[in-house]
Structure 1
Amino acid sequence: ELGLGASRMQTIFHHVLPLAMPGILTGTIIGLAHALGETAPLLLIGMVAFVVDFPGSPLEPSTALPVQIYMWANEPERAFVERTSGAIIILLIFLVFMNLGAILLRRRFERRW
């Protein structure tokens, strides 16, 4: 491509990135889903600073959903069973949507020769 007069930037933006985009997007989304699913290091090492109260708005500080599930699962009260179950279902639905998004983006940007 460089021999035909295209610059390096044109080669990257017109040929390299369109072919690499499905893998980049899929890897990013699956990496995020993987980070949400694997919370053992977070629970064992990073439980030093967390927020116990419910956030009143999206801008207030809160803890990660897997940490909240872990805290609710250790509560002896019966009311926390429903909260824990609901939070687990929300986390699973979010993970399913992340993986579905990765599949759809990969199919959308995939080039067939």
Structure 2
Amino acid sequence: MRKFVSIILLSLSIITLIACTKNKQQSLDGEYYWISSERNELAFTIKGDNASIEHGEADSFTINKKKNTIELTGKNIASRSEDYSFKEGVFSVDISGVKHDYYLKDSEEYNNALKQYGYK
């Protein structure tokens, strides 16, 4: 009987752990800035799975969080897919022909980049 109860408790623990892990996707929503020694400008804004791009050939992109890809679309480009990574407020992706880091406004990394390049 003890083994049976132990197996049931272990099974419930595993199910709970799996359920919590799947629901823990971090929201990407917000404004993302391209910060460097030459610029500090809004690059794009993400809401849900869609983003609007401020400047460039592409007008927008759609995010596939399961595959960590974006699908760029716009009047002046052929649709294309790019891989992205997101860690601690930094969205790394190629939306303009070169991969850059874009900083989520008000994140710790955003504030560090502003200080690093002399904007604060």
TM-score normalized with structure 1 length: 0.31
* Higher Rg: 1
Greater helix proportion: 1
TM-score normalized with structure 2 length: 0.29
